[in-house]
């Protein structure tokens, strides 16, 4: 079961594509976090979704939102993908233990060994304000994320 709106977001520390640890709790009190789980680097839908985030990143930054992408890929493949696509936000590797953070958020697909498309907006207090889970082949509607980000102000 996915983490629900109104609950405290499970904390985690994962390595980014430079093998540097990034802790969710490091943003607490400072920035909201848009946590975007996706199945695999280099896949078509994932590339399209994260390119849209990249192209609209200023809108999130203007609202004090840190975007974090998470997949079960290795840091090496994430780095190659980030460089190829020019992603300026951290891509975190949930490779080992395989999918542990995705499982904590209720988005790990054990049958396929990947993260489903889970999106969680976490406020500066660490509370989940928006949650959405889509199947691997089902693209997300990012307009819903933007509405959730706008609602953080009220």
Prior bond of 97 cis (ω within 30°): yes
How far, in Å, are 5, 53, 62, 64 from residue 150 at the CA level? 16, 16, 11, 11
Q: Alpha helices, DSSP H only, in 75-127?
A: 75-85, 100-104
Active-site residue (options: 22, 36, 41, 46): 46
What spatial distance separates the first Cα and last Cα of the chain, rounded to whole Å? 28
Is residue 46 annotated as a catalytic residue, yes or no? yes
Active centre residues (catalytic):
46
């Amino acid at each position: 079961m996915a983490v629900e709106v109104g609950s405290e977001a499970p904390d985690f520390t994962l390595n980014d594509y430079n093998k540097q640890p990034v802790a969710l709790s490091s943003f607490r009190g400072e920035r909201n976090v848009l946590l975007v789980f996706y199945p695999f680097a280099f896949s078509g839908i994932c590339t399209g979704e994260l390119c849209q985030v990249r192209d609209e990143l200023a809108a999130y930054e203007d609202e004090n939102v840190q975007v974090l992408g998470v997949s079960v890929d290795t840091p090496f493949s994430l780095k190659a993908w980030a460089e190829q696509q020019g992603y300026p936000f951290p891509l975190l590797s949930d490779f080992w233990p395989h999918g542990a953070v995705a499982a904590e958020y209720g988005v790990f697909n054990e049958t396929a060994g990947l993260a489903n498309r889970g999106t969680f907006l976490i406020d500066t207090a660490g509370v989940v304000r928006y949650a959405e889970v889509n199947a691997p082949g089902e693209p997300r509607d990012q307009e819903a994320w933007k509405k959730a980000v706008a609602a953080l102000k009220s």
